[in-house]
Structure 1
């Protein structure tokens, strides 16, 4: 009887250790998410830089920017693109929610990401009227 109890106790301890060893655990560290909404400008530039700096300092595994922008300043776009490209933390730019856009400068932010993603019903790129010849349509026509 004594061996039976001891044997069961040993098996129980081994089983508990086995379960603890294979227990589900976080595969990823912190994931930072932040919106980039509106015109690409100095404010968005500073915000994106702060998010990327903080993510790197805190050892984040990933940064996800949710983008909805009509475009904006080329200088700010170039700085944000540079920050994304130089980021030690992988960056996902996700155009969302439905109806959002990554137009003009926003398209470059999307292209700079390590992963570019778009929700259904979103669009990317510049959209302006052109003639069949490819020339811009003037206001007079």
Structure 2
């Protein structure tokens, strides 16, 4: 059976692309650029459900976001945790960022990857006054958010003491530092390089462990 790489885009001009290879199965790629709010959560949920129903090998999310709303983020994390298909968060392309809520998605994924020249972090919570003025969140909110990102990271085998600094110190990282510190699993030049590098990796999803078979997708 020939495998297919299908690209689902939620950008302004949606695109759908099919690419075949000699490996078995189907890989879906969701391209997400924008803020993480309720609409984004619904798109993530639908992409995961579609991947599950199609028997996909995995779902790759190409992510570029400045952040978003905490409640929607938590629902996306729940969807990832309850997914029977591995979810790969890939900060891409070069120059892309996964700030604030985007960082939570990176550390909460089954496999986390970054392209060269990308950045994650800056997850310190803020509040907005009725006047529209943006202020730092109260200390109790910072502590709760710090505990949340630490728990999410440790659940996925990532260093909680490092990732909580994204919240408490508003820390940012490039791909090399993130890889060295164990925050991400790999650096990939593009989605095809990513697909080659995740081949053979074992991840734990709802229902048990799976070994990814992705090599050769084109």
TM-score, L = length of structure 2 = 0.46
Select the residue among 2, 19, 22 that pairs with 1:26: 22
Aligned residue number for residue 97 of structure 1 = 93
Q: Which has the larger radius of gyration?
A: 1
- Structure holding more strand per residue: 2
Corresponding residue SS for 2:30:
strand
Which one of 65, 70, 90 corresponds to residue 66 of structure 2?
A: 70
C-alpha distance in structure 2 between counterparts of 1:95 and 1:116, whole Å: 8
Query: What is the alpha-carbon distance in structure 2 between the residues aligned to residue 31 and residue 135 of structure 1?
Result: 37
Residue 127 of structure 1 and its aligned partner are, at CA, apart by 6.9
After superposition, the CA RMSD in angstroms is 2.0
Matches of 1:27 and 1:121, distance apart in 2: 30
Aligned partner of 2:15 in structure 1 is: none
> What is the DSSP-based 3-state SS (H/G/I as helix, E as strand, rest coil) of the residue aligned with 1:54?
helix
Deviations 1:83-132 (A, max 9, x none): 1111100011000001101100000011111110000000000078xxxx
Per-residue deviation, residues 1-36 of structure 1 (Å, max 9, x unmatched):
xxxxxxxxxxxxxxxxxxxxxxxx833301010012
**Alignment gaps of 5+ in structure 2:** 1-20, 125-167, 171-218
With structure 1 as the length reference, what TM-score do the two structures score?
A: 0.71
1:14-63: CA deviation from partner (whole Å, max 9, x where unpaired): xxxxxxxxxxx833301010012110001110000000001001111110
The structure 1 segments of at least 4 consecutive aligned residues displaced by more than 4 Å after TM superposition are none
Q: Whole-Å Cα distance in 1 between the matches of residues 25 and 74 of structure 2?
A: 29
Higher helix share: 1
